[in-house]
Amino acid sequence: MIEFNQVSVRRDGRVLFAEATFQIHPGQKVGLTGNNGTGKSTLFGVLLTYMGKGASDELTIDAGSVSIPSGWDVAHMAQEVEGSDQPAIDYVLSGDSEWYAMNAKMMNPDTLSDDDIAHLYQRFDDIDGYRTPTTAAQVMAGLGFKADQHDLPVNDFSGGWRMRLNLAKTLMSRADLLLLDEPTNHLDLDAILWLEEWIGKYTGTVLLISHDQTFLDATIGFILHVENQQLTLYTGNYSQFVRTRSERLAQQQQAFEKQETTRAHLEDFVRRFRAKASKAKQAQSRLKQLERMADLSPVMADNPFTFGFYEPSHMSSPLIDLKNADIGYNGVPLIVNASMQITPDTRIGLLGMNGAGKSTLIKALVGELTPLTGTYKISDTLNIGYFNQHQMDSLDAEATPMLMLRRLAGKTPDSQLRSFLGSFDFRGDRIDTPSKLFSGGERARLTLALIVWQKPNVLVLDEPTNHLDLQMRQALTMALQGFAGAVVLVSHDRELIANVCDELYLVHAGKLQEFDGDVSDYGKWLSEQRKLEAKEAAKESRDAKQVVSVEATKQAEAAKEQAKQAAAKKKQEEAAAANHEGLSKEERRKLAAEQRKLTAPIRKRIEQAEKKIDTVTNELTVLEAKLADTELYEDARKPDLLKLLEQQTALQQQQHALEEAMLAAMDELEQAENG
């Protein structure tokens, strides 16, 4: 097990851990949580150092002891990926360092002795090395890579996709301890769901840092919380940790009071407008918000973020009306006949697999992309608050938060601006620090602050939580619940979608339609889609192999027929030559008998090969009929499927060997008869 005993760590003159003590046992999956700057990444660095994998600035402890089982290997997901011309699939395979080294040796057998080769192939078989490339392809597919991207160089991928490659490489490791730092940051929802399943099946020890509450709940059984220079290990997932910790917080009542204020505001709205037909739907929406507030108060007890959205200055309905629109690029639609109406009480969550077109639809809604067909109308009062990665990246690098806000705020007093920025945790020197020095989380918070100040009546948010920690995510959730305008949201944060959105729309197979269910139902839908895609891929693979097999058989039969024709022609030529040489009939008969006697073993080998090929072909036909059974691809039948696929591979190899042997025998027969 991993054991920290009275460990103290100081870095840059600041104490991060003081007399920290905890134990992590083999196979446990632990979430590492705590505010930014409390030492989560430092803890990873300490573990890497004591396992011999530390960087140049190795982290050692100042007091106490660290114990890690000898012989354990560790895999760490780094936060940066250097550019490379290496094909993506090779980069991922290099994560399995043992397989990668063995495969390189097997590609150069001339440098090995016979004993080395025997040992190498035995070990390769022990680690199931022949399946490793298939495993790598499956990992890449789970993280959203297409088959035609496997051979692209790493340099061809953007930063976010390089991070996915880095995650795939880490998952290929055969490590005993897996350290994952924000593995979901650059993933969409379907990739996150796949990763949850992968971690669930992983038999080693996992220690991960994540700001995705639902992901933590689905993957870990313990929480190691960093707070006030202490490390406390809690049993249970993140939600259980929140409940346990909330009982220990002296300031819990303050959080409840904050929520009660919001609750009173919402209840007042419902009382005033519930009876009005024009406001009934909005009142119903506020009731839903009240229902969703119950579990939020405990986790907000010590939250430094206290912002809320302003009441929109103007409002009308509809604000955006997209009707019968084909949306795409260069005249090619990605989504066809899409219709969506955004009214003041709209709260829509957009779902869809990677590449389905969610971001494309959003660009059409905000007016960045003109529909190819259909209509797009907006209200004169429309004021969109649009958040995406581009907005973050386009912040003025040299400007400070105060300067950027001043550009929007006109003559508003500095004190009011400082108070506003403080609600987003920009305080002290950070208010006057150029944004180029900010972390991704700080840039995301600043972008949100600038949006909030402009009092939008429609919020269009494309993955707003990618760089936000748990506390900021929770503050954003509460702020969105109290927002009086419309919300259109794309997010891999299921907690955010569930707490904010009243309607879900699905973008799939070129269509936009309302999704009948909640976020958990969407997870089930994704699982079914992956099964269908796997079945289709398996069918295509079987069809391709069958075509190859049929073509090979045809080629073998053609070659056999050609050899027979050549042999017959040779006999005729020999007979004619014998006649010209004046041989008698008896002599010609004896000569032919002698020739048949000499070539009889070869003919027998050809005949036996033909019979065996027929047998193997029949067995393959029966096997492929079994593989066509769709029930075989259910999770419960996976062992049966793997067994049949192994049999299919063995039979195909046997068929190929027999065909090669038969063709070689035919060549030998022709040479003997020409002799």
31-79 tens-digit pLDDT: 999 877 788 888 998 999 888 876 545 578 889 999 999 889 999 987 6
Tell me how many domains the chain contains: 4
Query: Is 229 among the domain residues?
Result: no
Residue 300: its pLDDT value, please? 45
Amino acid letter for position 404: M
Q: How far apart are CA 668 and CA 663, in angstroms?
A: 9
Tell me which DSSP letter residue 87 carries: B
Residue 254: its pLDDT value, please? 63
Please name which of 230, 205, 231 lies closest in space to residue 220, comparing C-alpha atoms.
205
Return the H-helix or E-strand segment holding 647: helix 638-674
Question: Residue-wise over 278-299: b if at least 16 C-beta within 10 A, else e?
Answer: ebeebbebbeebeeebeebbbb
Q: Do 557 and 631 fall into the same domain? A: yes
Signed CA dihedral, 124, 125, 130, 132: sign only: negative
Q: Do 493 and 544 fall into the same domain? A: no
pLDDT digits 0-9 by tens, 142-162? 898 988 899 999 999 888 889
Q: Do 667 and 624 fall into the same domain? A: yes
Query: Is 240 among the domain residues?
Result: no
- The answer to whether 223 touches 213, Cβ cutoff 8 Å, is no
Q: 91 vs 128, 145, 389, 452, CA distance in Å?
A: 19, 13, 27, 42
Q: How far apart are CA 74 and CA 51, in angstroms?
A: 7
Read off the pLDDT band of 539 (50, 70, 90).
low
φ, ψ of residue 333 in degrees (nearest 5):
-75, 135
Q: How far apart are CA 114 and CA 372, in angstroms?
A: 66
Q: 398 vs 129, 390, 401, 403, 433, CA distance in Å?
A: 52, 17, 10, 10, 9
Cα 72 → chain centroid: 27
Of 156, 174, 192, which marks where a domain is finished? 174
Of 516, 549, 579, which marks where a domain is finished? 516
Q: Do 543 and 630 fall into the same domain? A: yes
- 3-state class (DSSP) for residue 18: strand
Range of the domain at 287: 257-300
Q: How far apart are CA 63 and CA 7, in angstroms?
A: 5
Amino acid letter for position 481: Q
Of 481, 516, 551, which marks where a domain is finished? 516
Query: Is 160 among the domain residues?
Result: yes
Q: Do 617 and 533 fall into the same domain? A: yes
Q: How far apart are CA 356 and CA 190, in angstroms?
A: 11
Q: Which residue has the tokens 């022709």?
A: 670
Q: Do 468 and 358 fall into the same domain? A: yes
Say what the pTM is. 0.67
Helix, strand counts (H, E) of the chain:
21, 18
Query: Is 199 among the domain residues?
Result: no
Query: Is 218 among the domain residues?
Result: no
- The answer to whether 624 touches 542, Cβ cutoff 8 Å, is yes
φ, ψ of residue 395 in degrees (nearest 5):
-60, 145
CB atoms within 10 A of CB 71: 6
Q: Do 88 and 157 fall into the same domain? A: yes
pLDDT digits 0-9 by tens, 77-114? 876 777 788 999 999 999 999 999 998 888 887 777 87
Q: Do 490 and 542 fall into the same domain? A: no
Q: 426 vs 36, 421, 435, CA distance in Å?
A: 14, 5, 11
Find all residues with CB under 8 Å of 149, minimum gap 6, and list them. Answer: 88, 140
Alpha helices in 65-188 (DSSP H): 88-93, 97-106, 114-126, 132-142, 159-171
Query: Is 14 among the domain residues?
Result: no
- The answer to whether 443 touches 435, Cβ cutoff 8 Å, is yes
Query: Is 420 among the domain residues?
Result: yes
Q: Do 474 and 585 fall into the same domain? A: no
Q: Do 328 and 425 fall into the same domain? A: yes
pLDDT digits 0-9 by tens, 179-190? 999 899 888 888
Query: Is 122 among the domain residues?
Result: yes
Residue 547: its pLDDT value, please? 56
Residue 260: its pLDDT value, please? 73
Q: How far apart are CA 21 and CA 229, in angstroms?
A: 11
Q: Do 562 and 452 fall into the same domain? A: no
Q: What is the mean pLDDT of residues 515-541?
A: 79
- The answer to whether 226 touches 66, Cβ cutoff 8 Å, is no
Q: Do 435 and 535 fall into the same domain? A: no
